[in-house]
Structure 1
């Protein structure tokens, strides 16, 4: 199959909106996403807020693209051992995003989280003119922590805290555009809910970092600031929410999501929700977007989702020996070069039938 042309990529980016983020994920990894002018070339077809961002803040759009790529990588890491491994193959991915299944919920959440994280980090790094470090003047003083020198010391906010509220706002503007709250479309309600869950997985878990000041380590003053969680932590947290995702249906008022089943608590804002059961992803299926698991590497001794029994769907597996090249016999030469030889290593793999 020939790779998509720039014209095709531009067409898919025209479709960029939370009603269809397929365009965003299709173009991630392409040089096109690194050029905000190319992304925004067809602003008349974009949602109102998205078009406004394209026209007035193209550097923000560039960070949005980086955030989407961050979300892609994290999705592929978190799902690397699952039957659906978050493959970014365009047609397969598009079919997944057209369904209200748990995997789609994770995709929307991790994308919204990635955009929020990338924009916030760009602010802290001084890469955007619209924002910088967090303003801490109105923040309550930090709580003292246990440790040597903590008693009797003074505390104040300082340093360069992450302005996560700015990143949250830009992610909300771009990802939630044209998705009005209060509509009776259950897909709209589900997408908005999962977008919000992703953003909260970043904003709700800010950590406090402090630096100690004083002569001879006396620590008479602590300067503290707020930092975002590492994005791997965000991915881990959203995977937990994926494993405990709620199946929901629309309420009669058209504005509320209700859990399916009796005596089940309603999902909170940080939970992931879906409305349709996932396919088993065992066999390739164009209709559902399942690439199947034939040929996937599995662990013949693991009892979990990476094990051959589960990953291969009971079809069995075969052993195959592959030859890999690795760096070996590395030596340090003054100054300052490390030279290595290439060694061939035979590795035994188990592949699904």
Structure 2
């Protein structure tokens, strides 16, 4: 078995456990210490293919953990200016994941997206024996925009090392979609599985085409093209848009369907994020709801959007602070080819929520 770090073990534990447990271990740097076999033995919900992967493919487990960590970082970037900033403090985060709110929907989606992205990338980099570059498929010709300027009249072919997103998709599905029994009132399972899929599709459905020119003296008589995943920042941006337009839903009487709440609302599609409960306002610290509050947060006194002091400080006002930070200064270019800088202490004015 390949050893995993504490943070990877903690993240792995998240992916395989039910929602009322994963909040305890979602944070990076979890104190959980056990080997992969122990996780598999103690997590009784593992079954079938999940258990097989846990036991026989620890290198896949390692990439799953990297993907979850990638999702954590992107979540914290996308929510950096919001009242809830994707904090990973266990005492708050566990409560967030116990609720069917918008924020939980984003966490599940971005984590599932991180897993498909990390596993697929590992395949393309030759780091996994189970996969490699994508096998060339019988796609139609790429668009002229994808091929590049001067594409008219030049030959092209599918080749290179395309990303095997189908392999990454399958591994993400196996690890993220917990095997739960679906009852008539199991709206939580339906919501979590839907949001997991939305995250994966934010990667799979937005593959881009890259091409490389071949020919003497830059003649570009032949272009080789392949499919690559979108940059993960694009994935985060796309899921944040879905977060802003998330659908509130309720469970159908058959226990297998979700129904949008409200009149004349179209059903959410597979790429939409869904939730069933309203979020707290996150203004005050509240362990019961998982709100860390916004007291002490740095805000932008001139902005009118979500990072502005009026919204972030919830109308409580802000105080001005002067802090000293170390920055590069007096930079000079030395031939060839080094830029050397000195370190200077710079005073900055910050606005901090009361």
Same fold (TM over 0.5): yes
SS of the residue aligned with 1:128?
coil
Q: 1:214 matched to which residue of 2? A: 215
Q: 1:292 matched to which residue of 2? A: 293
**Are residue 22 (structure 1) and residue 20 (structure 2) matched?**
no
Q: Which moved more, 1:333-342 or 1:159-168?
A: 333-342
Q: Spell out the pairing of 1:8-157 with structure 2 (5 A cutoff).
A: 16-17=15-16, 19-20=18-19, 21-22=22-23, 24-26=25-27, 28-29=28-29, 38-46=35-43, 47-48=46-47, 49-136=49-136, 138-146=137-145, 148-157=149-158
Residue pair 1:141, 1:157 contacting (<8 A) in 2 also = no
CA deviations on 1:150-180 (whole Å, 9 max, x unpaired) are 2222221111000000000000000003135
Residue pair 2:63, 2:122 contacting (<8 A) in 1 also = yes
Give structure 1 stretches of 5+ with no counterpart: 1-5
Residue pair 1:248, 1:258 contacting (<8 A) in 2 also = yes
Aligned alpha-carbon RMSD (Å)? 2.5
Q: 2:284 matched to which residue of 1? A: 283
| Cα 1:192–1:148 shift into 2, 3 Å | closer
Partner Cα separation in structure 1 for residue 102 and residue 88 of structure 2: 17
SS of the residue aligned with 2:174?
helix
Partner Cα separation in structure 2 for residue 168 and residue 32 of structure 1: 27
CA deviations on 1:285-327 (whole Å, 9 max, x unpaired) are 0101100000100011111010100000000111010011112
CA deviations on 1:167-204 (whole Å, 9 max, x unpaired) are 00000000003135676510000000000000000000
Partner Cα separation in structure 2 for residue 99 and residue 310 of structure 1: 23
| Cα 1:12–1:116 shift into 2, 3 Å | closer
- Cα shift at 1:38: 2.3
**Are residue 268 (structure 1) and residue 269 (structure 2) matched?**
yes
- Cα shift at 1:52: 1.8
Partner Cα separation in structure 2 for residue 52 and residue 69 of structure 1: 23
Partner Cα separation in structure 2 for residue 144 and residue 104 of structure 1: 37
SS of the residue aligned with 1:293?
coil
Partner Cα separation in structure 1 for residue 125 and residue 311 of structure 2: 44
Partner Cα separation in structure 1 for residue 67 and residue 6 of structure 2: 23
| Cα 1:162–1:182 shift into 2, 3 Å | farther
Q: Which moved more, 1:40-49 or 1:94-103?
A: 40-49
Residue pair 1:75, 1:110 contacting (<8 A) in 2 also = yes
SS of the residue aligned with 2:210?
strand
How many residue pairs end up in the alignment? 343
Give structure 2 stretches of 5+ with no counterpart: none
Partner Cα separation in structure 2 for residue 323 and residue 202 of structure 1: 41
| Cα 1:23–1:85 shift into 2, 3 Å | same
SS of the residue aligned with 1:42?
helix
Partner Cα separation in structure 1 for residue 160 and residue 213 of structure 2: 12
Residue pair 1:156, 1:224 contacting (<8 A) in 2 also = yes
TM-score by length of 1: 0.90
Q: Spell out the pairing of 1:265-344 with structure 2 (5 A cutoff).
A: 265-332=266-333, 338-344=339-345
| Cα 1:15–1:63 shift into 2, 3 Å | closer
SS of the residue aligned with 1:198?
helix
| Cα 1:10–1:220 shift into 2, 3 Å | closer
Residue pair 1:24, 1:68 contacting (<8 A) in 2 also = no
TM-score by length of 2: 0.90
